[in-house]
Amino acid sequence: MIIKRTSAYIFATLVLLTTAIGQDPLTLSGALEQALKNNYGLIISRANLEVAEITNNWGTAGRYPTIGFDASDNNNYELNNSIYTNRLSAGVGLNWLLFDGFRVNVTKTRLENLEELTSGRLDVQVESTIEDIILGYYNVLLQQEQLKVLQTVKDLSNDRYQYELKKQSLGGSVTYNVLQAKNTYLTDKANYMNQEVMVRNSVRNLNYMMGIEPSQTWEFAEAFEADTSDYIMADLLSKMKADNQTLKNQYTNLLLQENETSLQKSAYYPSFSLGAGMDYGHTRSHSGGTQSLNNETMTPYGNVRLSFDIYSAGTRKRGVEIAKINEEVAQVEIDQMEHALTNELFNLFDYHQVRLELLNVAIENLEAAELNLSISEDKFRSGVINSFNYRDIQLIYLNVSYQRLQAVYNLISSKASLARITGGFLGYKPGSE
């Protein structure tokens, strides 16, 4: 009966709400905010970016001179002449590579590109995390909705079991029918209990992605529904080529290969360096009771050095050739990645279009299955259909309900994938979804 089934559904909903008392509410925006702050992968990627930012400076590239200080105290004693000598020396020196074939400038550019690449990898990690959180959040809702369906089926099986028990007490049912109804009810109860575990596991998986303790429970505030808006393939393709972060990272990798070619070419230039400083020396010696001899020196110096590698057995030429080949390979990798991403985009677009239609089919199918279940319940109680027919209709309702829920989740998944591949998550701020 419709009224009884509606009451059972309301009761199942109340049970779920009761278990949520005392739990913290969690919206999708809140889950994303937690993940962007606590996700382990993002913490590591941010640390890598911080290292790249620290490394990217002119000092690392070799623009500035180095200054050093050195001091020593040496003591000698000549056994033959009984002469004791003490030598104290100290010096401050500056070394500055003034020119090295533009290597300093190329190195600084390379450090900037490495920082940009590290930042791009962080962006890819952010996009991947956002997609994982969206799918993880809605997977929890999917498992909860499936639990509600199993609750409905379990309640129907229990009603049938209780009905057969009453009929048996009145002499209208045999033990076979009672046992069959009991087995059906216990099977549905076991399925319901297994699904409860699935719900808890999905929550723990979401907590892991958010970097939160596994024991944390939530009251999930979002509705389990999908956005049915359509897309235009030309717009998606344009956005992907302009905003896809993985493709942008590949362009940066090409720049790094160009930097490597420039570094190899710098070996053809001479190097010019400057050295300057001050050396101090003090020597004191004496023999027995004779007067000590002291000598003190202070020597400033300034040196320049020009170095040029005239012949290196073709090492420089081979280095440039290899760098150019790697540069060409990086360009081919860009073309390959763009082609692969285009194929993936077409596939995702086709899946999205089909999933839109499948959701409409699943909704119509569920409406028919609900009506059939309601009618069959009355027919079973009036004896028009037997328990086997009624059970078959229950299973049809269960499968159709699952198909509708899965269709909703699949559509959410395809939309998230399209947003990721077209750079739709770039610049995301919690609350903007």
Residue 431, domain member (yes or no): no
Last residue of a domain, one of 308, 332, 363: 308
Pair 161, 388: CB distance under 8 Å: no
Residue 428, domain member (yes or no): no
Residue 427, domain member (yes or no): no
Residue 429, domain member (yes or no): no
The phi-psi region of residue 73 (left if phi > 0; otherwise alpha if psi is between -120 and 50; otherwise beta) is beta
Both 258 and 344 in a single domain? yes
Both 134 and 25 in a single domain? yes
Both 333 and 406 in a single domain? yes
User: Cα dihedral sign for 408, 409, 410, 414?
Assistant: positive
Residue 426, domain member (yes or no): no
Both 297 and 323 in a single domain? no
Both 162 and 299 in a single domain? no
Residue 81, domain member (yes or no): yes
pTM of the model: 0.83
Both 243 and 392 in a single domain? yes
Range of the domain at 286: 66-96+275-308
Both 379 and 301 in a single domain? no
Both 412 and 325 in a single domain? yes
Residue 363, domain member (yes or no): yes
Both 117 and 80 in a single domain? no
| % residues pLDDT > 90 (the chain) | 65
CATH number at residue 240: 1.20.1600.10
Could you tell me which residues come within 8 angstroms of residue 328 by beta carbon, excluding any fewer than 6 positions away? none
Beta-strand ranges (E) seen in 200-292 are: 218-220, 271-287
d(CA 210, CA 208): 5
Pair 266, 103: CB distance under 8 Å: yes
| Tens digits of pLDDT across the chain (433 residues) | 333 444 444 444 444 444 444 578 999 999 999 999 999 999 999 999 999 999 999 999 999 999 999 999 888 877 777 788 888 999 999 999 998 888 999 999 999 999 999 999 999 999 999 999 999 999 999 999 999 999 999 998 898 889 889 888 888 778 888 898 899 899 999 999 999 999 999 999 999 999 999 999 999 999 999 999 889 999 999 999 999 999 999 999 999 999 999 999 998 999 999 999 999 988 888 776 666 778 888 989 899 999 988 888 889 999 999 999 999 999 999 999 999 999 999 999 999 999 999 999 999 999 999 999 889 888 888 888 888 888 888 899 999 999 999 999 999 999 999 999 999 887 655 444 4
Both 201 and 285 in a single domain? no
d(CA 425, CA 420): 6
For tokens 């763009």, the residue is 338
Cα 130 to Cα 123, 135, 285, 422, 430: the distances in Å are 10, 9, 77, 14, 10
d(CA 350, CA 66): 61
Total of domains in the chain:
2
Both 297 and 163 in a single domain? no
Residue 211, domain member (yes or no): yes
Could you tell me which residues come within 8 angstroms of residue 138 by beta carbon, excluding any fewer than 6 positions away? 222, 224, 409, 412
Both 126 and 165 in a single domain? yes
Say which DSSP state 307 is in. Answer: E
